[in-house]
Copies of this chain bind each other. A is one copy, B any other.
Amino acid sequence: MSVETEEKDYTKHVEDIEIKAAYDNLIMLLEQESYEPFREEFLKLHEYEQGEFFSLLNDEDREKLYHLLSPKEVADFFDTLSISNEEMEEILTSMDARYAAQVLGAMQYDNAADIMNFLPKEVMMSFLALMKKEDREEIRILMNYEDDTAGGIMTTEFVSIDSEMTVHEAMVHLRKVAPDSETIYYLFVTDINNKLVGIISLRDLIIADEDEYIGDIMKERVISVNVADDQEQVAYMMRDYDFLAVPVLDYQEHLVGIITADDIMDVIQEEAEEDYYRLAGMSDEGSPLDDSSFTAAKKRLPWLIGLTLMGMITATMLSTFEETLEKVALLGAFIPIIGGMSGNAGTQSLAVAVRGLATGEIKRVSLLKLAIKDILTGMMTGFTCAVLLFIIITILFGQPVVGIIVSISLFVAMTFATLSGTFIPMGMSKFGIDPAVASGPFITTSNDIISLMIYFSLANALMSALL
């Protein structure tokens, strides 16, 4: 971590200089083998910083670290690491197997379950066998849920209380279970069958009289999600309702887990970034910056090959206009601008449509209204750019007929592109295809084909005027 002092430093926050010095000091203690001082200083750091420090260490120093920390202490910062599953597998398999199993068992169960689901089967089975029984059971439950669903991101470490308890009894219970709960800020009230019957916030609990019954002061109407709900929907709901945590129920309304706001922050960013990368026609798995060039090439190739093929369709179509080009070669100079402008207009519409579909906002708008707006927007932008082009072409090249052909083609192409950029993704979504798959490159290429067809057909029609 370097210390930056320029104003536009993207990673600076208040403690940077101190943290860097702290890390350097720790590395020194570790290599000098001053183990007690190392432990003392290390455990003063926030878990996120412990994780940052850990990423700076080489394998040898990491080995030393494992000998100095208990599995729980290691698990605490392992929970904060944002590394690929491959890297985590490497790390865990480099440790003593029992130690690794205990670290996994001491991590937050939802994180451990994600890792376990990734590990090769034999590795996973041995770790399961080597961890504590209660950890093994909880993690097994969570491993069964699909990634990207509520079940896949929930944790089972929540606080449930009885409606028959008094506030005083609830507080006593709370103090006991607090260390093991991911959040104590909402308490979930369940009946004897473990069905969710109410919820009470810690805020309301401490404001209440000690003798009141939970059942009398709890909120009975609880907003919850189902284990199978998509994580993106859960994220938007939590963001809309400003919840710190939301309960997860199974089909019989039993309370099986909770999802906390901090997990959701990650989901919100993940989902927005997913759309972002797709707009560029890339898969977003893993962390793109860390990819080897081979991996990066692999991710980008599917789209690029698809585009190459689509580009050949455009080329083949254009080759039928070879004669036209021979007669008026100047027409060729404007091919990129026609294709490019309609492509850009289409991508702009697409961007709005894909986000609108993802956040659910697009449902509130009537389709007819949307189409009319798009046509008008396309006509306005198309008209402006067309007039601009006509003026420039006439002045620069002294060829007003070419100017007219280019302008009219641009106008029609941009209007059409603006419309298609909205409705192609909507149509895809209606058929159950992920609209973000209809990403920028796909739409721009189809717009290319249509706009250039209009262009050359118009040129042929006005050929007499051109020669």
Query: In this assembly, does A276 line the interface, its C-beta being within 8 Å of a C-beta of chain B?
Result: yes
Partner of A344, one of B12, B303, B344: B303
Q: Which of A269-322 contact B (CB under 8 A)?
A: 269, 272-273, 275-277, 279-282, 287-289, 291-294, 296-297, 300-301, 303-305, 307-309, 311-312, 314-316, 318-319, 321-322
Query: In this assembly, does A358 line the interface, its C-beta being within 8 Å of a C-beta of chain B?
Result: yes
Check if B336 sits within 8 Å of A305, measured CB to CB.
no
Check if A178 sits within 8 Å of B206, measured CB to CB.
yes
In the assembly, what is the distance between CA of A388 and CA of B249, in Å? Answer: 51
Could you give, for residues 255-269 of chain A, a 1 whenever the CB lies within 8 Å of some chain B CB and a 0 otherwise?
000000110111011
Check if A202 sits within 8 Å of B185, measured CB to CB.
yes
Give the chain B neighbours of A221 by CB distance below 8 A. Answer: 44
In the assembly, what is the distance between CA of A10 and CA of B221, in Å? Answer: 23
Give the chain B neighbours of A225 by CB distance below 8 A. Answer: 13-14
Query: In this assembly, does A441 line the interface, its C-beta being within 8 Å of a C-beta of chain B?
Result: yes
Check if A315 sits within 8 Å of B301, measured CB to CB.
no
Query: In this assembly, does A21 line the interface, its C-beta being within 8 Å of a C-beta of chain B?
Result: no
Report how many copies the assembly holds: 2
In the assembly, what is the distance between CA of A298 and CA of B288, in Å? Answer: 34
Nearest CB on B from A434, distance (A): 9
Could you give, for residues 345-378 of chain A, a 1 whenever the CB lies within 8 Å of some chain B CB and a 0 otherwise?
1011011100111111111010000001110110
Give the chain B neighbours of A97 by CB distance below 8 A. Answer: none
Check if A14 sits within 8 Å of B304, measured CB to CB.
no
In the assembly, what is the distance between CA of A208 and CA of B303, in Å? Answer: 58
Give the chain B neighbours of A347 by CB distance below 8 A. Answer: 280-281, 440-441
Check if A348 sits within 8 Å of B13, measured CB to CB.
no
In the assembly, what is the distance between CA of A207 and CA of B159, in Å? Answer: 15
Query: In this assembly, does A160 line the interface, its C-beta being within 8 Å of a C-beta of chain B?
Result: no
Give the chain B neighbours of A32 by CB distance below 8 A. Answer: none
Could you give, for residues 134-146 of chain A, a 1 whenever the CB lies within 8 Å of some chain B CB and a 0 otherwise?
0000000000000
Check if A336 sits within 8 Å of B333, measured CB to CB.
no
Report if A304-B337 is in contact (Cβ < 8 Å); known contacts: A175-B206, A262-B261, A319-B330: no
Check if B269 sits within 8 Å of A276, measured CB to CB.
no
Q: A65-73, A88-96, A98-106, A238-246: which lies at the B interface?
A: A238-246
Q: Which of A327-345 contact B (CB under 8 A)?
A: 329-337, 339-341, 343-345
Query: In this assembly, does A122 line the interface, its C-beta being within 8 Å of a C-beta of chain B?
Result: no
Query: In this assembly, does A445 line the interface, its C-beta being within 8 Å of a C-beta of chain B?
Result: yes
Query: In this assembly, does A326 line the interface, its C-beta being within 8 Å of a C-beta of chain B?
Result: yes
Check if A344 sits within 8 Å of B279, measured CB to CB.
no
In the assembly, what is the distance between CA of A4 and CA of B357, in Å? Answer: 14
Query: In this assembly, does A452 line the interface, its C-beta being within 8 Å of a C-beta of chain B?
Result: yes
Nearest CB on B from A135, distance (A): 21
Could you give, for residues 381-416 of chain A, a 1 whenever the CB lies within 8 Å of some chain B CB and a 0 otherwise?
100110011001100110000000000000000100
Check if B377 sits within 8 Å of A296, measured CB to CB.
yes
Q: Which of A149-193 contact B (CB under 8 A)?
A: 171, 174-175, 178-179, 184-185
Check if A279 sits within 8 Å of B279, measured CB to CB.
yes
Most B-side CB within 10 Å, residue of A184, A293, A301, A374: A293
Q: Residues of A with Cβ closer than 8 Å to B?
A: 2, 4, 7-8, 10-15, 44, 46, 48, 80, 171, 174-175, 178-179, 184-185, 202-203, 206-207, 221, 223-226, 229, 233, 237-242, 244, 249, 261-262, 264-266, 268-269, 272-273, 275-277, 279-282, 287-289, 291-294, 296-297, 300-301, 303-305, 307-309, 311-312, 314-316, 318-319, 321-323, 325-326, 329-337, 339-341, 343-345, 347-348, 350-352, 355-363, 365, 372-374, 376-377, 380-381, 384-385, 388-389, 392-393, 396-397, 414, 429, 432, 440-441, 444-445, 448, 452
User: Which 5 pairs of residues, A with B, have the shortest CB-CB distance?
Assistant: A272-B272, A311-B337, A293-B376, A11-B360, A280-B351
